[in-house]
Amino acid sequence: MRSFKQEITAVFGQPVAENPTQVMIESAFADSGLAWRYLTLEVAPPNLGAAVAGARAMGFRGFNLTIPHKVAVIEHLDSLSEAAELMGAVNCVVRQRELLVGENTDGKGFVESLREVTDPAGKQVVILGAGGAARAIAVELCLAGAARITVVNRSAKRGEELAGLLRQRLQADADFVAWTGDYEVPAGTDVLVNATSIGLFPDVDARIPLAVDTLTEDMVVADVIPNPPQTRLVRDASARGCRVLDGLGMLVNQGVIGFRLWTGVDPNPAVMRAALEEVFG
Ligand code: NDP
């Protein structure tokens, strides 16, 4: 038995396995034969810098961040990936030797999931929403060669900002459309993405202001909402004959990318999806 020295033993006063991402990643550790842990720690915004310093001091191999930490964490890191720098947001930190590098895996997870049904290169894409998820998806779609991105958003400021970022930083063909009334999806659209929070549990019956009869069967319709996976949009688009992607695919794939960056091992996505399906019922 090894001797214990210089150690701090963490004691948690609440269950730490309630976060779906934790259940998903820990199932992949078990499946890959890695005796690693992925724990959920609540950090109040004023303590973020101290928490990152603690992660360095305690030798974390990496961590994920949720709102409201995705932007604020940047000043505490040593460098950023190209995508994270473009998006101005980090959801995944990877320790490389003694340095903490900020990455954004949300958009990459989406694109990987989209590639299972179509190649984004050369596609006409409409994105509903202009928040963090929309930003991550739009940047990665441009990097993957999408031909045109239309950002549709309720708040003009956020929508114009995102379309401007795509044009200026990525030289993309991008425009903004103000979202008033039921949005009619233009003919010729290849991919429609719901990147708003409409439909997220517990507001599962909330309706996206969308003219569903403008969805045609040559379109791919993707929803970012992971909980519940069968959103109203997923059901409506399936009924219209579209190819449909639910939010679990994006969540699993961003997890796969983070797992690979932290461990150097390729996890089994099917195991991770099954773990999430069990959590979300
Ligand atoms: P933000 O709060 O940054 O953005 C929310 C977006 O939704 C904004 O564009 C907002 O518009 C729009 N919106 C919200 N309510 C309405 C409404 N009633 N009508 C019209 N537009 C609305 O959130 P995020 O971008 O971080 O997250 C969005 C969703 O993506 C969440 O539900 C989250 O669960 C999901 N997500 C899924 C991931 C996955 O792996 N599957 C990963 C990351 C996020 P406005 O600007 O006008 O307020």
What is the residue-averaged pLDDT of the chain? 95
From 21, 70, 154, the mutation candidate for ligand 1 (largest count of ligand atoms within 8 A of CB) is 154
237 pLDDT band (50/70/90 cuts)?
Answer: very high
Residue 1, pLDDT score? 61
Residue 281, pLDDT score? 78
**Whole-prediction pTM:** 0.95
Distance of alpha carbon 246 from alpha carbon 228, whole angstroms = 9
* Mean pLDDT score, 222-247: 97
Q: How does pLDDT run across 76-124, given as a tens digit for each residue?
A: 999 999 999 999 999 999 999 999 999 999 999 999 999 999 999 999 9
Beta bridge partners, 62, equal 94
Does any ligand 1 atom lie closer than 6 A to the CB of residue 251?
A: yes
CATH 3.60.21.10 assigned to domain 20-106+250-280? The reply is no
Same fold, 20-106+250-280 and 107-245: yes
Fold of 107-245: Rossmann fold (3.40.50)
Q: Which of 35-44, 45-54, 266-275 has the lowest mean pLDDT?
A: 35-44
- Percent of the chain's residues with pLDDT above 90: 91
Distance of alpha carbon 42 from alpha carbon 20, whole angstroms = 15
Does any ligand 1 atom lie closer than 6 A to the CB of residue 65?
A: no
Q: Residue 17: pLDDT above 70?
A: no
Provide the H-helix boundaries in the chain: 20-32, 48-57, 69-72, 82-87, 106-115, 132-143, 156-170, 232-239, 247-263, 269-279
- Percent of the chain's residues with pLDDT above 70: 97
Q: Residue 2: pLDDT above 70?
A: no
Residue 15, pLDDT score? 63
To the query of whether residue 123 is one of the catalytic residues in this protein, the response is no
Q: Would you tell me how many other CB atoms lie within 10 Å of the CB of residue 31?
A: 15
Domain ranges of the chain: 20-106+250-280, 107-245
Does any ligand 1 atom lie closer than 6 A to the CB of residue 132?
A: yes
Choosing from 5, 70, 108, 123, the catalytic residue is 70
Q: How does pLDDT run across 136-188, given as a tens digit for each residue?
A: 999 999 999 999 999 999 999 999 999 999 999 999 999 999 999 999 999 99
> Residue 181: which residues within 8 A CB-CB, separation 6 or more?
209
Q: Are 77 and 90 in contact (CB under 8 A)?
A: yes
56 pLDDT band (50/70/90 cuts)?
Answer: very high
* Mean pLDDT score, 225-249: 96
